[in-house]
Structure 1
Amino acid sequence: MKLDIFAQPTGTGAEELVPSRYALRVGEIDVLVVSDGVLPLPTETLATNADPAVRAAWLEDMFLPPEAFDWPLNVLVVRSGDQTILVDAGLGGQFPGFPRAGQFPHRLEAAGIDLGSVTDVVITHMHMDHVGGLLVDAVKSRLRPDLRVHVCATEVDFWATPDFSHTAMPSPVPPVLRKTAQQFVEAYRDRIQTFEQDFDVAPGVTVSRTGGHTPGHSVVRLASGGERLTFAGDAIFPVGFDHPDWFNGFEHDPEESVRVRVRLLNEAAATGELLVATHLPFPSVGRVAVDGDAFRWVAGFWDF
């Protein structure tokens, strides 16, 4: 849906070959899904407790490569009342191994959104592909001094001494995750506002702790005018509809992650609300249907 509240591109910079932002409205709340790019990762991280042959068959059925594929990275810009809220901040540009990620700053600029207009940032969890964008100098320098950064207190506490014993990540990743999370806390310590379980960020915008993926992992729920949308962060991956019981290698508590995933998918199916998640294919706007013991993703029709 074309929304006038999101300014038109300024005309600076080259046009991209594919769209990188998608606008919609949830009641009186304006939402912009922005692609931060893609993150190539090994396919075994999608299902660490699955039979490799079954996992390979799922990948083949989905026309996905067997060894590695590109995880989408989606962030949100939400406008409710007089507040502009950034939900997650992507990877940032400080990781040379991932040159196609870290795109959100210039894509926000291309959409005519000034980082200085952002009043609040909500962090679903402190993995580097969610907080790294806030560590980019060109981003930090443009954020307002009274910016409020909302993170679950459990999440902040966890990353002081993180436990990776139940994860199955590529070996170079954990130390980078730890370092990036700690850099984020140090950089934004004076602006971080923690919450315990639920917090109303703005009218119709609530962040709620789910745990699972990380101890303080949270989702953002939008509700206005009888319409609803949930940004599920990393609670749901593409394979999670067909196989909600498969563990993701980045989950710090895989069994709890399954419970969270099933609960969120059942809620979405029951309410018919829109669902967006970090790693679903851009623009990641759709609904969920129950399909026997599993679920079915129903992609929304683009309205443009």
Structure 2
Amino acid sequence: MSMDNISLGTAGLDELVPSRYAVQVGDIDVLVISDGVLPITSKTMATNADPAEFADWLDERFLPADVLDWPLNVVVLRSGDRTILVDAGLGLEFPDFPRAGQLGRRMEAAGIDPAAVTDVVLTHLHMDHVGGLLSDGLKERFRPDLQIHVATREAEFWDSPDFSHTEMPAPVPGVLRRVAAQFLDEYSGRLRTFEMEYEVAPGVLVARTGGHTPGHSIVRLASGGDQLTFAGDAVFAPGFDNPEWHNGFDHDPEESARVRISLLRELAATGESMVATHLPFPSVCRVAVAGDVFRCVPAVWDY
């Protein structure tokens, strides 16, 4: 899967607004793919924020005060002989969210055969990260020897998940529990769990951070002097200039803030690139720091 093959679409499947973006990290091919957008109650983005301050934050960014569109990004990597899917999007099970769950057709548009994927890395088991693995029309196209990497602590957590510190809309915890249980039931034989970190392929390291969920993990890429981190749900859009604001999906909000601040400080110090699930597509950016707050500096598109 060369960069040329990654960026080449199939006739009739391309869209007016691009849904994939290719980046090179040394010898590692990286393709960010949009799984679409998911509507979310705005206040879920900052549950502990002063309402007036959060209203100003939304207004300054021309974002709606009630419901906003939450981007969903996944990544396909090629390192050596491994083709790795990092997270799998929402899937097609949720008709109330018709603009999400686009992974299958967008992989096809990018010329990526699901059967070519050797590994899946899951940052965590929330439904918008595993749903694509459960979607009819996609899951049967994955190879039978597909290896799925997830932190041991994450798999254990969903045996009896604790939602006591989350602030989600009422139906969501039950759906999260059901989808995670279905995933673990269907894929138990393919799971490759790790304790703290695991090198999936040359230069591709998955590392557990905890916080957002107990086994939440990030993926660190390093090759030829270049670096990029896929931060999963460790960083949301408000988390740069308000890193201590809590997200309603955080299972441990205080630890999530500590993880976020530590990661952003590290990325600001190294100058490496970052991609995150819920930052606006393609979300490739660098992190600048000023005192106790951070700034997302979007990459200049290469076209």
Q: Do 1:286 and 1:299's aligned partners in 2 also have CA atoms closer than 8 Å?
A: yes
1:37 corresponds to: 36
Q: Distance in 2 between matches of 1:95 and 1:6?
A: 28
**1:27-83 CA-partner distances (Å, limit 9, x unpaired):** 000000000000010111011111111110110011111111000000000000010
2:287 corresponds to: 288
Q: Do 1:92 and 1:132's aligned partners in 2 also have CA atoms closer than 8 Å?
A: yes
Q: Distance in 2 between matches of 1:292 and 1:238?
A: 18
RMSD over aligned Cα atoms: 1.0
Q: Distance in 2 between matches of 1:301 and 1:227?
A: 16
**1:190-247 CA-partner distances (Å, limit 9, x unpaired):** 1011000000000000000000000000000000001100000000000000100000
Q: Which ranges of structure 1 fall in alignment gaps of 5 or more residues?
A: none
**Aligned pair 1:213/2:223, yes or no?**
no
The CA deviation at 1:96 is 1.3
Amino acid at match of 1:266: R
SS of the aligned residue for 2:189 comes to coil
The CA deviation at 1:7 is 6.0
| Sequence identity percentage | 66
**1:241-294 CA-partner distances (Å, limit 9, x unpaired):** 010000000000000000000011001100000000000000000100002210
Amino acid at match of 2:167: A
Q: Do 1:27 and 1:225's aligned partners in 2 also have CA atoms closer than 8 Å?
A: yes
Q: Distance in 1 between matches of 2:112 and 2:94?
A: 25
Amino acid at match of 1:26: V
SS of the aligned residue for 2:232 comes to coil
TM-score by length of 1: 0.98
SS of the aligned residue for 1:44 comes to helix
The CA deviation at 1:110 is 0.4
Map of 1:50-199 to 2, 5 A cutoff? 50-199=49-198
Q: Deviating runs (4+, > 3 A) in structure 1?
A: none
1:227 corresponds to: 226
Q: Distance in 2 between matches of 1:155 and 1:121?
A: 15
Map of 1:292-303 to 2, 5 A cutoff? 292-303=291-302
1:8 corresponds to: 8
Amino acid at match of 2:129: H
**1:79-102 CA-partner distances (Å, limit 9, x unpaired):** 000100000000001011111000
SS of the aligned residue for 1:84 comes to strand
Q: Do 1:233 and 1:277's aligned partners in 2 also have CA atoms closer than 8 Å?
A: yes
Aligned length: 302
Are residues 238 and 7 of structure 1, via their aligned partners in 2, closer, same or farther at CA, if it must alter by over 3 Å? Answer: closer
Q: Do 1:39 and 1:98's aligned partners in 2 also have CA atoms closer than 8 Å?
A: yes
The CA deviation at 1:3 is 2.1
Q: Do 2:5 and 2:111's aligned partners in 1 also have CA atoms closer than 8 Å?
A: no
Are residues 82 and 5 of structure 1, via their aligned partners in 2, closer, same or farther at CA, if it must alter by over 3 Å? Answer: farther
**1:5-27 CA-partner distances (Å, limit 9, x unpaired):** 426222143x3120000001000
Q: Do 1:7 and 1:113's aligned partners in 2 also have CA atoms closer than 8 Å?
A: no
SS of the aligned residue for 1:212 comes to coil
Q: Which ranges of structure 2 fall in alignment gaps of 5 or more residues?
A: none
Amino acid at match of 1:58: W
1:21 corresponds to: 20
Q: Distance in 2 between matches of 1:164 and 1:95?
A: 21
Q: Distance in 2 between matches of 1:116 and 1:7?
A: 18
Q: Distance in 2 between matches of 1:291 and 1:110?
A: 40
